[in-house]
Homo-oligomer: A and B are copies of this chain.
């Protein structure tokens, strides 16, 4: 990301929004520490998946900046489900742990649903526990997935009204596509969710006032697929060597957008900042401070 790109008013300043959230978190951490509470997040990392290791590192750095204590529990690829569940039980019971985070994806032989369901909902800062997902679905948002909340926060930050807008979400994953669709529906946008089985994707994306893309297919969205004045959130992450690319062909699409989140520097930093915020919320909840 070049500095002159950040200055382009069409480019959503994900880093700037994240910094604002993190500053607030830092102040809250100080207040908690004055009360003798050291906010703490525990992360579970399984295997040697390089992006997962990087994301865990990025979260550790964010914790450090905010004054949150972080402990990372590393397991080899062949860990048994039972061992993971045992650790989660232990973390559930340790009062000094406020948030529990399982870095996804997990190896094939581990049932993700079972792992997520084992986390105490009040420590589920990632928002993936089915109870938290279900509360979100019925409009009682508690801990919600961080990327989706980051997108909502950015829309607020840029004063974009979503009520009645045509939102198209490309991707129907449990981690991004579905929760983002639901959170926008909760805010009375008209929401269409597309994915790999959608026929003639372009026909759908062309109708979007707000387009959210989370497929992991590099450059999927091209200039001809969006209308003039669209607002785009690019949640895609594809690594090519040391470089990371989004799902949107940024250089051509930018000509048509009102706003677009870049990759990197868009939803990534916001996601991590929201995670920090959730950890503080969890700590407050657990100590009856709100």
Contacts and interface: CB of A to CB of B under 8 A. Distances in A.
A163 interface: yes
A197 B192 contact: no
Contacts of A136: 134, 137
A252 interface: no
A192 to B, nearest CB: 4
Interface string A176-204: 00110110010011111111011100001
A229 interface: no
Interface residues of A, number: 36
Contacts of A182: 137, 178
A192 B195 contact: no
Interface stretch (A8-16, A29-37, A125-133): A125-133
Nearest to A139: B174
Interface in A193-223: 193-195, 197-199, 204
A144 B102 CA distance: 27
A135 B140 contact: no
Contacts of A139: 174
Contacts of A192: 190-193
A105 interface: no
Contact of A134 (B135, B190, B193, B198): B135
Contact of A185 (B132, B164, B172, B189): B172
A137 B137 CA distance: 8
Interface of A: 113, 128-140, 163-164, 166, 172, 174, 178-179, 181-182, 185, 188-195, 197-199, 204
